[in-house]
Amino acid sequence: MAEVATGAKSGKVVIRNIGLLLSGDIDKPILDADTIVVNDGLIVAVAKEKDCDLEGAQTVIDCKKTCVAPGLIDSHVHPVFGDWTPRQGQIGWIDSTMNGGVTTMISAGEVHLPGRPKDIVGLKALAITAQRAFDNFRPGGVKVLAGAPVIEKGMVESDFKELAEAGVGLLGEVGLGSVKAGYEAKEMVAWARKYGIQSTIHTGGPSIPGSGLIDKDVVLEADADIIGHINGGHTSLPEAHVCELCEKSSRAIEIVHNGNERVAIAAAKAALDLKCPHRVILGTDGPAGSGVQPLGILRMVAMLSSIAGIPAELVFCFATGNTARIRKLNCGLIEIGRAADFVFMDRAQHTAGKTLLESVQFGDIPGVGMVMIDGIVRCGRSRNTPPATEIPVVVSGAH
């Protein structure tokens, strides 16, 4: 498992000969540009090659007319420590997911830690430790935003203030601990929000021992920032209740791989019908009983595009720019000043689709040819996706 120093600098990087540039911005999902220039991990130019300063690049990548998109963001994972999950007894799952195009992961709670402390002192200590550990360690280069405490009865406002001052910015899924009533959750969610901590609520039937049913009324009363796995993780609320949540709440609509696929499609369609597609974000909810899904986000994109009939370029925004904006991240969008986190893709070899977008709309996942995080190439042709028809090449530079 590869550790990446968080202070590593990419120098100047030129990415040229791009065939399709997906922006991550749901209001303008495709950009009319063929070149990106990066300096020390940040995007400094997005334009036609003739309008870019290409001089002095340490690294030049020829995309071979393939697609470049923002690195995918998994909005819902359950890490523990390092690149290990005791839930499935696997090592290397984060690096493997990077090979599926994911460059950022967001913890919904470190709930699978054996012996996870549930007393208030212990849960705060675990959250601060997880936040610190993943801030210092990037498996495969992936940015893991961790340290998401599961709230328990007895917590008071000062606990949230203390967590925020220590650098914790997330709550684990509300409902996985002893706080399950809407009125209790609402108070704690408000305390978290006051101190800049973003909250996610479990939605649907129980998933692990100690969790329970969180129904639509609790979700609405708690008013967490993210309606976590709105399609269930694993067991969904009735489809009508999910659509009611989309309509009555203004919060983010999180759809996950480890949930009910029929309801996932219904939630995505409801968001479009309500003219709020910017609220839809994607996660895997892994590792879990369903296992680890290195290609889970790509599979979600292909499923929603092919079965829900949503244009592929819009669904890619669910997994990139939408999440970045809702989660207040400096990635997920291809625009000047954003982190240079990219996934390079092409249609899979022998897919029926004539283009990458058409192949996704037919239900095939694309082939990943390269992944870049902070302007540094983290992998070439993915070991997990089907082989891409064309892959980009590094034509000069040390990376």
Q: What is the DSSP string of 123-165?
A: HHHHHHHHHHHHHH--BTT-EEE---PPP-TT--HHHHHHHHH
Query: Where do we find the tokens 């420590």?
Result: 81
CA–CA separation, 243 and 289 (whole Å): 26
Structure tokens, 149: 């405490």
CA–CA separation, 184 and 167 (whole Å): 24
Confidence (pLDDT) at 1? 42
CA–CA separation, 130 and 152 (whole Å): 18
| Structural domains of the chain in order of their starting residue, each with its CATH number | 12-70+333-396 (2.30.40.10), 72-294 (3.20.20.140)
Contact 39, 335 (CB under 8 A): no
H or E segment at 394? strand 393-396
Q: Which residues of the chain have pLDDT under 50?
A: 1-2, 398-399
Nearest to 369 by CA among 352, 350, 385, 358: 385
Task: Evaluate the omega torsion of the peptide bond into residue 234 and state whether it is cis, within 30 degrees of 0.
Answer: yes
Confidence (pLDDT) at 7? 62
Confidence (pLDDT) at 399? 41
Confidence (pLDDT) at 207? 74
Bridge partners (DSSP) of residue 68 are: 21, 344
What are the CA-CA distances from residue 45 to residues 17, 67, 392 (Å)? 14, 17, 19
User: Taken in order 281, 294, 105, 209, is the CA torsion positive or negative?
Assistant: positive
* Cβ neighbours for 227, distance < 8 A, ≥ 6 positions apart: 201, 203, 219, 245, 249, 251, 252, 253, 254
Structure tokens, 379: 């992998």
Q: How many CB atoms lie within 10 A of CB 92?
A: 18
Confidence (pLDDT) at 272? 97
CA–CA separation, 15 and 371 (whole Å): 12
Confidence (pLDDT) at 209? 67
Confidence (pLDDT) at 9? 86
**Which tens digits make up the pLDDT trace of 187-246?**
999 999 999 999 999 999 987 666 678 999 999 999 999 999 999 988 999 999 999 999
Confidence (pLDDT) at 3? 52
Structure tokens, 75: 């909005």
- Helix ranges (DSSP H) in the chain: 93-98, 120-136, 157-165, 182-194, 216-222, 239-248, 261-273, 296-308, 312-318, 321-327, 356-361
Which amino acid does the sequence have at 67? C
